Structure 1
Amino acid sequence: MAKTEQKLFLKPDDDIDVVIKKITSSRAGHIILRIPENSVLRSSADNFHTIKDEVSRAKKKLLIESIDPYIEEMATLAGIDSINPIFGKNERLISDIIPRSGVPSVRKYHATKRMSSETEREEAFSSFFSHERAPKKHKQRRIRRERSYRPRSKKQLAFSLAVIAFILVGGVVLATRVLPRATVVVLLEKTPLEFNTAVIVSSVAYEVDAEENKVTIPGELLTAIRNIEMQFPASGEEMVEQKATGELYIYNEYSSSPQTLVKTTRFETPDGKIYRLDDRVIVPGVTVDGGVITPSYIKVSVTADKPGETYNIQPDLDEVWNIPGFKEAGLMERYRGFYAKPVLAMTGGYMGTAFVPTENDISEARKKVVAALRNSLLAQMLVVESRELQLLEGSERFAVLRDEIKIDTGEAGTFRFFAEAEMQRIVFQESVLVNTLLDGLVSPLDYDFRIIEKDFTYQDILPDWDVGSLTFVIAGSFYVEPDVESSTIKAQLLNQDEMMIRSIIFTIPGLKKANISLWPFWVKRVPNNSEKVTVELQ
């Protein structure tokens, strides 16, 4: 019983013949074809059209699995369903915003009004004399007020003393620990280190080679090849003679040795039509395993011997086409051992008036196809290129390798423009070049430094595509400053007096100028609390 579904795993070097053989030998009605990322099938879109045609002829369903977006796109263009089994997700970066802390408020203390004992006594006596009608009651009130006055004055006195002490202690703390601050602004020397160096970027170099005024660094030669076929309307008309074309499988059942067939080798159909081989091919020999002989085969392109629609045929795919040259030479064993079978129909033969593209049609078609190829190759480069790689102006090459015009002789009045192009780039890591230049600089400075600014240009850029190298001159300056940290200076300044502050500041390498501020005016020493000290490097 035939399997309903089968997954076929291809190797990177499995060509279209191996794929067709696997598909035709599979008994499954639904085939899942797993194509690796570096498969040789991606070299031409024709491979996918052939697979599509073979599957259609076998009346099977096909799904292509691949993580290569280029393979997916070619499968889609050929009308084959495809899927990428791996999906990635982008993560959103979130940054926290930390608000500034407020300035702590300073508690204000208000002095408490105190009533003097003399004033109270006067008020008591005045109250006493103003109430003559009830002397006894006033006398009792006076006694009570005198009794209540004496303990309150002691409490008030104690409270006043406590407030005074608190204010004095708080004042001392405020003056010595809270208020004192120190600000040190250090202006450092900014020194330019100039260079003018010849550079060679080599795609075959594996390590840096630095000489005086000359540096060789590793680089990469990136190459991408793509082909596209597009259809356009043809506005011209003329008499044309066009030969039918198609494909054959050539079988070898004769010998385990390979057989070379020259270009234009003839193949004869059962009804006597002749088709000729488009290119020289080598038919592999048979394989023998345990005494079992398995014929070998290879797929080739052929063209009809004569123009015309007579050669547009839909042959039986199992019919045998012979090679009459072997028979004519008397090589009957070879004649019977080598034969061919058609892959699909032979089409394109025509004689008569047809729509043909004018020079303007071809020119416009070429512009559009070339633009599409360039954009496609640029997108392909972005996939393989790292952000760390530097591409200089003039180190990229785009070239059309071949193009072909195919005239549709039907009533549609169109033609197809096929083109294949290549894009190359020579790139390198700029960080490697910068570090190499820094290592080779002869510095006039006697202290460690760090780069704060880079200013350089690339000049005289010249690629050599044959060897995959790039030469240029890099000229400019590295602006450096002393490699000192504000935290280190701050740690040295804590709790130091003015004399020690100056001594520490003057030991900073590359010092240009410094400004020291102690606040308030009575402060003569840097606070021992690092949060009260600010060191700013400029």
Structure 2
Amino acid sequence: MSKKIYDIKPPKIAKKVEKELKEFLGEKKNHSAKITAVKKQGRHKKENRPIWIPASIVGAAILLLVCVFLFFKLPKATIQIWPKVDVLSFQQKITADKSAGSIDNTQAVMPAKYFEVIKNASQDFPATGNASNEGLASGTITIYNKYDPPSLLTLKAGTHFMSDSGKLFTVAQKVVIPAAKKAGNKITSGSIQVKITAVEGGESYNIAPSAFIVPGLKGTAYYYSISAASTKAMSGGYAGKVKKITDDDIQGAKDALVKKTTDDAVLALKDQIPADYILLDSAISSNVASAGTQTKSGTVADKFNYQATVKASALAFKKSDLDLFAKDYIVSQMPEGKTLLDNTLKVNYSASLVDVSAGKITLNLDLAGNIYNNIDKNSLSLSLLGENAGQINQAISNSLGENVSKVKIKFWPFWVSSTPANQSRVNVELKFE
């Protein structure tokens, strides 16, 4: 029987073939994936494997470079030199002048500056004198004149009347006592009333009505013919103590206030002086412009006021100007080839002449400074490159000789025994301690 040939597979056969084909293809795909995974895993293991030989070579190269760098960069040498120091001293004079504008070394003149302060002061002072504060008793008396033959009697001002208790009073003005009147054998006394005042203060003169006589008439014919009497008690007498101003009070006030005002003026003057100026006590001048009081000696008062005006003036000069002059002077006197050591300059001064009004101060100077022989550190360090300690000491001894008192050499690190070839690694230090 002839076979049938189908151009199109039946559905069942087609599905079976398709299933088998998928399974085959799936297994092949899985197999390929496994192979790929294995390859990748192998490659990953390869990448993570340490490369020991190249890293060691690089490390050794770096270490070598570091050693070379340290060999050339670490070594250094410090050469400490103690130069021999001499003291140079001089005595000189200089004038500080307010008319000078700058330092003149040839004329030995430097600028000075004038300062001035005026102080006014007023103060109350107590009176120390004692005085009596008295009230004089006074009153009226009637003077009787019974002189026979009748006649007028004139008493001068200041005539004393004495009471029967012994108290004295006076009349202030001249008194004319009328004459008596006579009629037969009968005489009527002439009379006049006058005011009398006690010669002393005090309550004891406030006497009751009394009889009076005129002591000055004793021994004359009028002594028993002239009499007086008061009809009322005397009044106004009292006594007390009060303060009064004395000459010593005024002089003491002047001395005290002038001194205080002068001190205040000088203190204010010093406050005006800048910190960089030198002010000598002998260059301060003060004078009293005015001093006095309007109260007179003998015035009764518990206190009085005193006023004073004081002017203080001074000359001062800059410390920097003095130091500069001193330094320049010492440098000008130094031997050739010497250097003045910094911070060793000493300047002592004292005033020999001061005239504040003229604006001049003359100073005596004692100058001193330490000097040493010039040492060119740059040239010296250049000449010592590549030298060991012995060679360095010998070279310094040959070039500087007795101008050096001590040398100390330091190499670093510890294995270095000579100065580097690089001058920047050789440090020359001058020591003066």
**TM-score, with structure 1 as normaliser:** 0.41
Task: Name the structure, 1 or 2, with higher relative contact order (CA <8 Å, separation 6+).
Answer: 2
